[in-house]
Structure formats: structure tokens, C-alpha cells
Amino acid sequence: MKKNNAQYWVSKLGLLPHPEGGYYKRIFESEERTSSQELTVDFEGNRKLYTSIYFLLTSNDVSHFHRLKSDELWYYHAGSSLTIHIIHENGEYEEIKLGMNLDNGEVPQALVPKYSIFGSSVMEEDTCSLVGCMVSPGFEFQDFELFTQADLLSKYPQYKDIIMKLAYEKIPE
């Protein structure tokens, strides 16, 4: 079945490996820009008002814990449902199931607030999930922060199980 075949989506959509895990391709970006003077976020320079990507994650991979200075809206497109794991700024942990099985608590779109630490995983084996992610103000790699297990365990030892699954042991070079 094509909807659960990662190689189909990677090939048809021209997706590339993402440093956090999975595959992505930027598809939309605003022509307009903003600066930290208009916002409550401290950016260096200007940012596009928004950027949007396709993001594909397989059940053999995870999206490693990371943080952005912007809000990120996630939209379910195809394949298996996906779980977004969030450690909010106040230290509370939340799981959001992104998908179309509303009777099972899934939602077709979800917001990850700026400054949250988050990652994602596909729960069903031998499958993948295709989602869209819109970041506003727009994504720039200089605002992207990855975390190691040690970084997060020192602050959030109560979330050891998910940290061991979604944080890097060592940040890849």
C-alpha cells in the first residue's frame, strides 16, 4: 500500500534527510518578513512570516527532541498516525496524537508552542507518517536547538523513558 511506503513519498515529493530525523522538503515560505522588534521572540535579523514543510517519519526512526523559537503547526496528511511528544516551557509533558481516528483521541492538526522541547514518533510498526509543519515566524536553522539525553535528564528526570527514546546520546556532527 503506497500510503505506508516511505520510499514512495520520499521519491514523489523529493524529500531529503532532516537533522532531527525523518525526511523533509520546504514547500511554502512567506515573501514578507518580520523582526524581533514586532514580536516577543529574540531573533537575530529578520524572519519570513511563515515557512511550511512536508515531513515524513518512519516507524524505524524518531524525530529527536529539539526546540524552536517559533510556534509550529502540524497537519496530518497520510499514513499512520504520529505522536508528538512535548515538554512545555513550564516542564509539563504532553502527548498529542496526530491522525484521523478522532474516536481514538487523534486530531488532524496540532500546535507545538514556541520554546517547547518536542519530538515525534510513529507508533505502528513497518509504516510511516506524512505530515505538514508550518512555522511562524519562519524556520531558520539558527533557531533550531537539538538536545542530548544528558541535557534533558538533568532537567526532567521524571521523563527518562521518553528522553532515552527521543534524545540523542550525542549530537551528530
What SS3 string covers the chain? CHHHCHHHHHHHHCCEECCCCCEEEEEEECCCEEEHHHCCCCCCCEEECCEEEEEEEECCCEEEEEECCCEEEEEEEEECCEEEEEECCCCCEEEEEECCCHHHCCECEEEECCCCEEEEEECCCCCEEEEEEEEECCCCHHHCEECEHHHHHHHCHHHHHHHHHHCECCCCC
173 residues of the chain, pLDDT tens digit each: 465 689 999 999 999 999 888 999 999 999 987 776 666 666 777 888 899 999 999 999 999 999 999 999 999 999 999 999 999 999 999 999 999 999 999 999 999 999 999 999 998 989 999 999 999 988 988 889 999 999 999 999 999 999 999 999 998 87
What pLDDT was estimated at residue 3? 57
Question: CA quadruple 37, 50, 14, 79: dihedral positive or negative?
Answer: positive
What pLDDT was estimated at residue 1? 44
CA 156 to CA 150: how far, in whole Å? 10
What pLDDT was estimated at residue 107? 98
pTM summary value: 0.92
